Structure formats: structure tokens, C-alpha cells
A = this chain, B = another copy of it.
Amino acid sequence: MEQVDHLAHERRTAEFDVEAMKVVWAGSRHALEIADRMGRLVASDPQFRKDNRTILERKELFRNTLRKAAHAWKLINELKLTDLWHQNAILFWCPLIFDHLLQGMFVPAIKGQGTDEQQKKWLTLAYKMQIIGCYAQTELGHGSNVQGLETTATFDPKTDEFIIHSPTLTSSKWWPGGLGKISTHAVVYARLITDGQDYGVHGFIVQLRSLHDHLPLPGITIGDIGAKFGNGAYNTMDNGVLRFDHVHIPREHMLMRLSQVTRDGKYVHSDVPRQLVYGTMVFVRQAIVSDASKALSRAVCIAVRYSAVRRQFSAQDGGPEIQVIDYKTQQSRLFPLLASAYAFRFVGEWLKWLYTDVTQKLQAADFATLPEVHACTAGLKSLTTSATADGIEECRKLCGGHGYLCSSGLPELFAVYVPACTYEGDNVVLLLQVARFLIKTVSQLGSGKKPTGTAAYFCKAEHLMQWKCNVRKAEDWLNPSVILEAFEARAVRLAVNCAQNISKASSVEEGFAELSSDLVEAAVAHCELIVVSRFIAKVHQVKGRGVEKQLRALCNIYALSLIHKRLGDFLTTRCLNPEQAALANDQLRALYSQVRPNAVALVDAYNYSDHYLGSTLGRYDGNVYPKLYEEAWKDPLNDSVVPDGYHEYVRPLLKQQVSFSRL
């Protein structure tokens, strides 16, 4: 930290113990300490300098990433950072460059679908970094519809091998991260064909490149799929294309935990229940939700600090200009995002617990809660990633023109984050899955089958259909049970409405298709309820001076700003009347005023280093303008006073003296 602190006055107005809030955000004191130590380590290492602010040509960008990844790997080994805490912390501070080391989804796929023997063999190689693997599922022609993949794996009983083949152009593997240039191996998803029959899509471990000279093996064509959104962002990654021309692999390279092909070409199921693979899915989705809170909080931290530094327009009395964070329009755009970052953090933490819980249940062969867990995690992935992508871009706009500069850190944060709305399940496709679960839940009401977990509120569906909101004054909205019931009533009523409308169609499928937009809204209502309820639950558990009060305010902001945003839902379902909606709005404004003096401290509690933020606007010390100015001169265009191309293209124009009337 430098000596000046332009935000000191903001920090003095905080009404809570920031150190205690840091612990709450980090999850525990232990987590905070390690994160803090690792953060400093990374920030002080010149190898990790963020030098890609200016536009690097693709090859240079990629090479740079390899350098950093290798350095990080060396560091982890040298410092013997063998435990999960430390590794995760390092991964956290150097996002993206680590995807190569993590080998994407390669490891989780083998863990989920490989036999014990396969896991032992391949994971050991991967952990030792003797191979680098990627996850090759998506094809040029198929992403969401995994069952439609076209790559074939045909068993050849003569040689006891599978023949992996790309029969069409659209069957080319397309998108896998790490595939294009680096991976030596891949888990390839292909249609298993044996004895002339197609058994659908299965996973196979395929070696792609020689471990000797890194050249693609015979029959294999690999390349990078080209430039992506943003100038750095995912361009540091070699998302790749891959084609097979009758490539032979040993039969044992099929991932055989759930099913096998025998030596004589028989397809047999193992006695391991299929449901076990869901564990991996829950794990991946909780990680995505946790990433959402990281990305959103980072953007919010930048926007809150800069909004406190930035002054624009004088107060009526001609005093100093107003900090833009004092404008109610700024607050109404910014504070709900501040609240969302906390909300997503807590729901992500809860998903970690859910993962442990599910794992135990799966091991006990208890699969009853799986549909509910699936709907919950799919929905939360969709909700948090969409809200985060939109939120980052809103934070960028909240910084005015300067937010458009790469040195603000926000453009790259958006570009690198936004594909989370698409990968691991397109967000709309996921919400439709949630909707299916909800419609099923409604259809089983009264059947004796009791909804559980995040769907348990359907047990009181009858009550919620009748429920009347009893808010009479703005403060009534501070009551968590009022908020909770309002969200429950909305969710139940939207789901029941949809179910009723579907039942009027000629078939359920047709009704579902026709009403799918409404169904998506019902799914969103269900997911927002989950986040609200987890936030409310969390508030009671926290410790530290003033911490609970702040979190309660943020929780209320999260909920009431959602009510405002989705007012159509709440009013059409008659959960609220217009007066109660107006009162919610009044209360929301009051909450903004309450949070205002704490805003900077609330983002300080994330404990993000300036290095991690990578933003001239989000600096801890608020010393924005000199840094913006300094950063500008580093652009290569400033290498020379007269730019390249002037003599060739501009001077002749200036000197030609051709008249030409315009406009």
C-alpha cells in the first residue's frame, strides 16, 4: 500500500469490523490467512506481472501464458505447496493461466467415469504432469445436445481396439481448452459401436501427440480454433479443433466404470449405479458458482472504489463536486451488485456443503434427492453466471468512459467471464431443465411424494397459493420471513400457472415447448428463492462487530432489488399489490443510504490485492488519475511520436490538396 489514501475518509465511516468481515468472506480465519499469504506471494513475483494490458499478438500472448504456467508450477513445487488450501489459493490469484495445469475437465472426467485401475494409471500420470489432458466433448455441430455427437468409436474385435473416427466435418471436436497446442491426451466422447450396434456416447482416453516430439500422432489433425472475444481473455488459451482418421486405441482406453466392452465385443453394464457421475457435476457447478462470486466481487470492488473517487457536478451550494457514488441512480445500479456478490459467495459456500452431502448420499446408494440437487445446481449455475456477466458489464458502464480502457481491468474481466454463460451448459437450456423438474414437482403434489431440499417449500404449496402479503409500511419489508414467503409464493404460483397452462395443450411436450419462455421465468423464480433463502440463513451465523447488520442490509437489498426487477412476476401472481411494491421501493432507497457509508469497507473485505484487481480505477488507495496517466504511456503506439504509417498514408493525404466537399 502506498502512503496516500484517497479513500481514508470512506474507510473511517465504516460501521463494522472489516477484519471480521474478511473472515466471513473468506469462509474461515485459516482460509483468509492462506489466501492473504499466497496473494502477496503472487503479487510480489515479477514473473506474474500483468504485462498484457496492451495488445499482444496471439503467439506472444500464448507464449507468455505458457511461461507463467511453468513458473507457477515450479513455485508450487519449490515451496512444496502440497495441500489443497495453498494450491487453491495460488490458483485463485493466477486465474486462467492455470487451466493448463489443471488439465481442464480431464481429471474430473476420469475420476467420475474411470475404473479404480484407470484412475490409478491416468491420474498418476496427470498429477506428475507426465501427460497433459483435455476434455474433448463438444463438436462443431453439437454442444448442448451431447447425445447428438457424431465422432465414432467402433470396436474392432480382430485387434481388440477401438477405432476413433470423425465421419463428417461437423463431427470435428471443437472448443476443448488446451487441445489446440498443448495437450498430449484427451478424454474424447464418441458413439460406441460394437457388433454393428450404436450404444450412444461414451468417454475414451486418446493420446493425441507424441510424448517425444509433441507432433500429432498418425491420423490425428489438431489446431487452434482462432481468436476469441477480448484481447487477452481466452486468447491465452488454445481452444482447439481435432479430427480423427481411423485412429486405433486399446480397448482398455474406454472409461469403463459404468459400462464395458468385453474382449469379444459385448457391451455390458457394470453394477456401479449410473447416478454416481452426478457427483462430478455437482462439484463442477459449485466451483462455477464460487467463480461467479469472485468475478462479480472483483468488478464491484473496482466500481465502488472508483465511484467514491470520481466526482462529477457540483452540489447546489457550489461546494466540491459530488462523489458519483452519492447519486441514487448510481447506488441503485451498484449496490444490488454489491449485494449479489455476497449472495453468490454464500450460496457457493452452501453448494460446497451440498457436494459433501450428495457424495455421502451417493456412497450410501441414496439417490432420492438427485433430481432436486440437479435442478438446484443447474439453476444456480445459470442464475449466477448470467447475473455476473451482466453485472461486470454494468460495473464497467458505471465507471463512465474510463471503464472502457483496458487499464480499468473491466473489459478483460468481462471478456474472460462471459463464456461461463455458455459452457458447462447453455444457461437457457439449463433453466429449461429446472423447469422440467418444477413441473414434475407440481404434478406430484398430493401424490404423497414429498418435495425435499430446495424444493421443500412446495410442501406448503396450498398455503402459498392462498398467502397474502401483510406489508403495510416500508419497514415491514425488513422482516426476513415476509421476504421469504413472498419469494416462495411467487415461485410456487409461477410453477403452478405454467403447469395449468401446459395441461391445456394437446400434449405435455407441446405445452412445454409452447410455454417455454414462461417456464424459464418460473425456473428463475425458483433459483432466486434459493439464493435469497441461503443469504437469510447465513446472516444469522456471522460474528464480529456490526457484521450481521451490514449483511442483513445487503440481504434485504438483494431481495428487494429483485422484487423491483421482477415486479411483473410478483404483481401478476398477486403476491403483492402496487402499494406494497411501492413500499419495497421506499425501503430499498433507505437501505442504499444505510449501506452507503460502508460501501468501500464492504469491498475492502474481499481482501483483493491491487495486483489481483489489475485495475487503475479500483486501486486500494484511490490514487486513480496519476495511474491512468502513467499507464497510457506504456502503449506501443507511444513508442514513437510520429506513428508508423504516417509517412506512407497520412502525409500524402495532407499534401495532395485535392478539394472534396463533404457533409
Contact = CB atoms under 8 A, between A and B. Distances in A.
A48 to B, nearest CB: 14
A586 to B, nearest CB: 9
Interface string A147-176: 010000000000000000000011010110
Nearest to A578: B572
A293 interface: no
Contacts of A62: 637, 643-645
Given A107-B663, A170-B625, A405 B228 contact: yes
Contacts of A418: 393, 404
A389 B226 CA distance: 24
Contacts of A571: 567-568, 571-572, 578
Given A73-B653, A241-B629, A401-B419, 4 more contacts: A57-B57, A58-B636, A130-B654, A227-B405
A300 B582 CA distance: 36
Contacts of A223: 632-633, 635, 637-638
A422 B397 contact: yes
B214 A57 contact: no
A404 B428 contact: no
B516 A329 contact: yes
The SS class assigned to the A binding surface is: helix
A150 to B, nearest CB: 11
14 contacts: A53-B226, A55-B56, A128-B657, A141-B625, A143-B312, A169-B626, A175-B401, A226-B407, A227-B407, A229-B415, A230-B231, A230-B415, A333-B428, A397-B422
Contact of A138 (B77, B401, B426, B585): B401
Given A400-B426, A637-B180, A637-B181, A87 B662 contact: yes
A642 B213 contact: yes
A649 B57 CA distance: 19
A367 interface: no
A634 B513 contact: no
Contacts of A432: 329
A650 B70 contact: yes
Contacts of A228: 404-406, 411
A472 interface: no
Contact of A654 (B67, B184, B644): B184
